[in-house]
Amino acid sequence: MKKTLKPGGQVIIIDFHKKETPIGPPMEMRVSREEVMKESQQNAFRLVKEHTFFPYQDFLIFTAESAGGK
């Protein structure tokens, strides 16, 4: 994904919380916020913003780290 992302581009991940909610996919299809954060950091993506207005979803915005770590 980083290869196709323009400089300054962002990746947005919106996923249901990994806990029971009145709507949404089954638990085995959900990914926890912690798991998304870990995978993103391991692949040199940095969280730049997080919205909390959805009651049952995480809304995370990432950008790719530059070669210099910025």
Tell whether domain 2-64 is in CATH 3.40.50.150.
yes
pTM of structure: 0.86
Pairing of strands 45-51, 10-16: unpaired
| pLDDT 10s digits, 20-53 | 999 999 999 999 999 999 999 999 999 999 999 9
The rounded Cα 60 to chain-centroid distance in angstroms is 4
